Amino acid sequence: MDKTFGHRNRHYSTSRLVFWSTIFGALLMYIVFRSLRSSDSLDSSGSSSTPLHTTAKWGGKDWEQSVQISAHPRSGSHNSVLVTGAAGFVGSHVSAALKRRGDGVVGLDCFNNYYDPSLKRARQKLLAESGVFIIEGDINDSELLKKLFDLVTFTHVMHLAAQAGVRYAMKNPNSYVHSNIAGLVSIFEACKAANPQPAIIWASSSSVYGLNTKVPFSEKDRTDNPASLYAATKKAGEEIAHTYNHIYGLSITGLRFFTVYGPWGRPDMAYFFFTKDILKGKPITVYEGPAHASVARDFTFIDDIVKGCLGSLDSAEKSTGSGGKKTGPAQLRVFNLGNTSPVQVTRLVNILEGLLKVKAKKNVLPLPRNGDVLYTHANISYAMKEFGYKPTTNLEAGLKKFVKWYLDYYSVTS
């Protein structure tokens, strides 16, 4: 009886083992499958993990040589610029423009999977062809930054690496703190310790104006009504800039970009995925404000933004610190870089329909409380006065260039 029971018991234990092994195996496969999926680019539902997947490859003799060659200015220029986020939308355009005019340029990018990394790789390839080397690494890697500043005397840091996107901040808040706050501090720390210290130009955002209703937005306006965590991290960045300027004598210029668009743009932005979805015949969601109020943006074309970035770099004064100590007051500026001509999102859709020759399937929905604001409009007189900033591309002309690029790029690679 005992034996039988014992045997039955053993049999029961074996089947229990098989049962639990199967469950455990299935669970393991599910976890592996999920982690593989999350290393793909962000899907439209925005499901993602924290932190975003990145790549880091640096160090060694060949690497050091590539950095130094890339940093070397051509005759006529004395600038060696570190561009963070160089494989990103604005970063790649700015790197190319700096290189074209003879500045030495070293890029830094973590190639994370917030959106399709193959687009970042394609930008990297183009930049490599024009002699810009992009380091694969994280702006939070202080060891890497130290090594870089030991290798090169940077005259400027164009800090464009960031966690972008207004609505995604609700899905992955920590990625904003990691890149836009911790990452910014890490860059400032490296710059403060460098000798001589570089001047810093960095990307803030029009979103710092948040729920302000007085338009056009001026740099003199208060910015203490952020509508998204993204905006709050950019606003925090502006305050952090103030302290590094005040304590260490770093020359710092913040640029408040207004909804930048154009060729090689960001797939997470509305104009980009509207184009994709309209071409596929998929419905798009167009937000509207209370009482059917139109939502509008001061859409700014990338070439105008590049001119603004170069203008602010060229007008930046030197930092005054040395050996981590301030020796005198240093420049601290914030500029709006917009188009100063807001356009309704419904109009943006009409322009795309015309360019793509496809009618959009529109779902009009009330603006969800997801960080979006109703309206943006830049007053650009300060940038105009300081370095002659003057945008010249309207939305029709800019979207025409974007659509041309989009059709070329995706028919070649897909």
Ligand X SMILES: O=C(O)[C@H]1O[C@H](OP(=O)(O)OP(=O)(O)OC[C@H]2O[C@@H](n3ccc(=O)[nH]c3=O)[C@H](O)[C@@H]2O)[C@H](O)[C@@H](O)[C@@H]1O
Amino acid at 297: R
Amino acid at 159: H
Q: How far is the CB of 276 from ligand X (least distance, A)?
A: 12
301 touches ligand X (CB under 6 A): no
Residue found under tokens 């970035």: 309
Closest alpha carbon to 134 in 99, 175, 178, 177? 99
* Cβ contact 184:159 at 8 Å: yes
Q: How far is the CB of 272 from ligand X (least distance, A)?
A: 7
Our CB check for ligand X shows the closer of 67 and 270 to be: 270
Our CB check for ligand X shows the closer of 197 and 205 to be: 205
Site for ligand X in 201-220 (CB under 6 A): 205-207
406 touches ligand X (CB under 6 A): no
Q: How far is the CB of 372 from ligand X (least distance, A)?
A: 4
180 touches ligand X (CB under 6 A): no
Question: Which tokens sit at 119?
Answer: 């687009």
Our CB check for ligand X shows the closer of 160 and 286 to be: 286
**DSSP conformation letters of 68-114:** HHHHPPPTT---EEEEETTTSHHHHHHHHHHHHTT-EEEEEE---SS
230 labelled catalytic: yes
Q: How far is the CB of 273 from ligand X (least distance, A)?
A: 7
Side-chain-side CA neighbours of 247 within 13 Å: the count stands at 12
Please identify, among the stretches 127-135, 190-198, 285-293, 326-334, the one whose residues bind ligand X according to the rule CB under 6 A: 285-293
Find the binder of ligand X among 104, 137, 165, 183 (CB under 6 A). Answer: 165
H helix runs in 101-227, sequence order: 117-129, 142-151, 173-176, 183-193
Size of the site for ligand X (CB under 6 A): 18
Q: What is the rounded CA–CA span in Å between residue 311 and residue 191?
A: 21
Q: What is the rounded CA–CA span in Å between residue 357 and residue 365?
A: 24
Our CB check for ligand X shows the closer of 345 and 399 to be: 345
Q: How many CB atoms lie within 10 A of CB 172?
A: 22
Q: How far is the CB of 100 from ligand X (least distance, A)?
A: 25
* Cβ contact 258:378 at 8 Å: yes
Q: How far is the CB of 224 from ligand X (least distance, A)?
A: 17
Site for ligand X in 340-369 (CB under 6 A): 345
**Residue 47 φ/ψ, nearest 5 degrees:** -65, 135
Our CB check for ligand X shows the closer of 259 and 320 to be: 259
Q: What is the rounded CA–CA span in Å between residue 70 and residue 93?
A: 16
Find the binder of ligand X among 83, 139, 255, 269 (CB under 6 A). Answer: 269
Our CB check for ligand X shows the closer of 165 and 308 to be: 165
The long-range contacts involving 39-47, CB below 8 angstroms and separated by at least 24 positions, are: 39/113, 40/113, 41/113, 41/114, 41/115, 41/116, 41/117, 41/267, 42/113, 42/114, 42/115, 42/168, 42/268, 44/273, 46/167, 46/168, 46/171, 47/171
Find the binder of ligand X among 87, 119, 164, 255 (CB under 6 A). Answer: 164
Q: What is the rounded CA–CA span in Å between residue 315 and residue 317?
A: 6
377 touches ligand X (CB under 6 A): no
277 touches ligand X (CB under 6 A): no
Among residues 168, 176, 230, 261, the one annotated as catalytic is 230
Site for ligand X in 243-262 (CB under 6 A): 257-259
166 touches ligand X (CB under 6 A): yes
270 touches ligand X (CB under 6 A): yes
Our CB check for ligand X shows the closer of 64 and 372 to be: 372
Using CB under 6 A as the criterion, which residues of the chain lie in contact with ligand X when the complex forms?
A: 164-166, 205-207, 257-259, 269-270, 285-287, 295, 297, 345, 372
Q: Which positions are catalytic?
A: 230
